[in-house]
Amino acid sequence: MDARTTRLPSPEVPPEPAIESVAEAFLALLKDRGIENFYVGAGTDTAPIVEAYARAGGRTDRYPNPIVCTHENLALGMAHGYYMVSGRPQAVMLHVSVGTGNAVCGVMNAARGQAPVLFTAGRTPLYEHGRLGARDSEIHWGQEMFDQAGLVREMVKWDYELRNAIQVEDLVDRALTIAMSEPRGPVYLTLPREVLAEPAPDLSPRAAPAIPAPPAPDPRAVMSLAQALTRAKEPVIMCTASGADMRTVDALSALCNRYGIAVGEARPRYVNVPSSHPLHVGYDRGAIFEWADALLFLESDVPWIPGKASPVPGTFIAQAGTDPAFARYPVRGHRCDLSITTTVHALIEALDVALRECGAEASAGARRQRLSARAAIIASTVGERIGADQAQGGPITKAFLSTALDAVRPRDAIVVNEYSALRECFTFEEPGCYFLHPDVSGLGWGYPAALGAKQAAPDRTVFAVMGDGAYLFANPAVCHHASAMHGLPVIAVVFDNGGWEAVHRSAVGIYPDSHSMRFAKSHEESSGMAPLCSLDPMPDFTRYAEASGGVGLRVTERSRLEEALRRAVAVAEGEKRQVLVHVIGRG
């Protein structure tokens, strides 16, 4: 026989075993619905899930990729971070009531950050005996609650319990539909062990139900907004979380250029507009409020802090977003002349048409001239302030760290910031490069979210920039372990100023000429902080990274910082190893 026609026998691929249990049907349905990762903090309740993956024999195409998480905050944070970058919801399963309790902080971050996480948890076995999966450990009495879902009910959009095999498809689809409906957010589903162990239902998945169309703006409201912006001499669009939809970044930039509307950012959690936009008037809300005569806030849950700075009386104020009243916030009394329920993308499209109909282009030139002059002055002032920090020497500051990070980061790098990176020191031109913690500020969000971001974007460099308190709350040993276990070489940058600066600032802010301030001044040579704020003596954070096979770098001098950050990038990109840069600073 001609050697060119010889056929070697094909290796036999074992047939895919039939689905046998509700656990297997549940996992297969998640995969069918586009869930790529299943973040798991395992417990006795996950026995049917463990068996399901074991029966799959290592196949990775049938069920979501299992991601073992050794702390609940890690699991919720990674799912949150993956969604931020990918736009696709992920699933979490934690251990009954105790795991749910540990996850509350992460659930709050997901809720306020509008992250649609499918959060599931086992439930203590229902039966004391007589059923497969019934109670077989003392903890199954101690861990049971009358209302386990009550731990998270205020923060999730929906909660329910899987009660029978025939409900699997209905409940998974219900959960995902509600999570992805605007405004998006987490949902909670409990999974009793006996139900997971039941024989599987007939599973021939139907087409996934349609997600409800997002809200579109009312045409009359849009026209009112367009008229107000056209009449204004110095209108400003203020953004907080509009960049969560990455399509809006270029669209908003073009709209502001076309009609001569300034753009500012109110504690931005995303890249909402390119930093170099010629009408970008910065991040200081109080300064903007002094001259702006019309303000449109986009997806801004806290548009201003009344005790610090408020718009001038008579200024036109509009608020827009998928829930512009932020109905789940118990108290929120910011003044508003016009409120529009809409996605930002839909509003920009509709507003473009309405502004054109109002003749806004005719007066755009004059507005553009005035606002570009303001933008240039603001940029120059910020630049001078950063330059003064660069020149003054002394301990490393947040401004110095942020400027150094911006200098060394690859342009497509992702920066996940929990407190220590100053936004005005960075130049972000592309969407999806910057993420800040939600306003609930549940500490310990940043590092897990960065790990999830790295999963979603494995070819991009990811920085997790944190304060020392945020790093400790992230359970660092767990995060470094996850980085090694799942091959996620994130660069953790920890700014160590010796304590909880936010607590210190709050105390001396409320009591400026007080015992707290005098105490801080008397301890200037050590922590320089009020009581209850200092965390000295700090551990050597580099050891955490080294214990999980990573590289630890410690920096105390300004002259060594940029070199250390460049080495961190080289190690993460070239050696595919995690890095921790422990930066000793002040302020």
- Domain spans in the chain, listed from the N-terminal domain onward: 22-197, 219-377, 393-498+538-584
pLDDT band at residue 6 using 50, 70 and 90 as cut-offs: very low
Does pLDDT of 245 surpass 80?
Answer: yes
Q: What are the tens digits of pLDDT across the range 336-352?
A: 999 999 999 999 999 99
For residues 303 and 239, the answer to whether their CB atoms sit within 8 Å is: no
Superfamily of domain 22-197: Thiamin diphosphate (ThDP)-binding fold, Pyr/PP domains (3.40.50.970)
Supply the DSSP symbol for 280: B
Does pLDDT of 8 surpass 80?
Answer: no
Q: What are the tens digits of pLDDT across the range 77-90?
A: 999 999 999 999 99
d(C-alpha 30, C-alpha 550), whole Å: 33
Q: What is the mean pLDDT of residues 461-480?
A: 97
pLDDT band at residue 130 using 50, 70 and 90 as cut-offs: very high
> How do strand 434-436 and strand 491-496 relate by DSSP bridges?
unpaired
d(C-alpha 7, C-alpha 423), whole Å: 62
Query: H/E element holding 220?
Result: helix 219-231
Q: What is the mean pLDDT of residues 295-318?
A: 96
- Which residues are CB-neighbours of 408 under 8 A, at least 6 positions away? 562, 565, 566, 569
> What is residue 68's predicted lDDT score, i.e. its pLDDT?
97
> What is residue 12's predicted lDDT score, i.e. its pLDDT?
54
Does pLDDT of 508 surpass 80?
Answer: no
What percent of the chain is predicted at pLDDT more than 90? 86
Amino acid making up residue 206 = R
> What is residue 90's predicted lDDT score, i.e. its pLDDT?
98
pLDDT band at residue 7 using 50, 70 and 90 as cut-offs: very low
Kindly report the number of other CB atoms within 10 A of residue 322's CB atom. 17
What phi, psi does 123 have (nearest 5°)? Answer: -125, 140
Peptide bond into 64 cis (omega under 30): no
Does pLDDT of 362 surpass 80?
Answer: yes
In sequence order, which ranges of 267-416 are alpha helices (DSSP H)?
285-289, 344-357, 364-392, 398-408
> What is residue 60's predicted lDDT score, i.e. its pLDDT?
67
Q: What is the mean pLDDT of residues 539-549?
A: 97
Q: What are the tens digits of pLDDT across the range 394-429?
A: 999 999 999 999 999 999 999 999 999 999 999 999
CATH number for the segment(s) 393-498+538-584: 3.40.50.970
Does pLDDT of 328 surpass 50?
Answer: yes
* CA nearest to 404, candidates 279, 505, 504, 491: 491
d(C-alpha 461, C-alpha 70), whole Å: 24
In CATH terms, the fold of domain 219-377 is: Rossmann fold (3.40.50)
Q: In angstroms, how far is CA 353 from the centroid of its own chain?
A: 32
> What is residue 501's predicted lDDT score, i.e. its pLDDT?
73
What phi, psi does 321 have (nearest 5°)? Answer: 170, 180
204: three-class secondary structure by DSSP? coil
Lowest mean pLDDT among 1-10, 359-368, 440-449, 555-564: 1-10
Query: H/E element holding 413?
Result: none
Sheet holding 462-467, edge to edge: 434-436, 414-418, 462-467, 491-496, 579-584, 551-555
C-alpha distances in Å from residue 282, one per residue of 264, 423, 492: 5, 10, 27
Note whether 22-197 and 393-498+538-584 share their fold.
yes
Does pLDDT of 510 surpass 90?
Answer: no
Q: What is the mean pLDDT of residues 241-267?
A: 97
What phi, psi does 185 have (nearest 5°)? Answer: 175, 175
User: What pTM was computed for the model?
Assistant: 0.93
Q: What is the mean pLDDT of residues 295-324?
A: 97
> What is residue 5's predicted lDDT score, i.e. its pLDDT?
37
pLDDT band at residue 516 using 50, 70 and 90 as cut-offs: low
Does pLDDT of 4 surpass 90?
Answer: no
pLDDT band at residue 256 using 50, 70 and 90 as cut-offs: very high
- 101: number of CA atoms within 13 Å, CB side? 9
Q: What are the tens digits of pLDDT across the range 518-538?
A: 675 666 655 677 777 777 888
d(C-alpha 421, C-alpha 466), whole Å: 8
Average model confidence (pLDDT) for the chain? 93
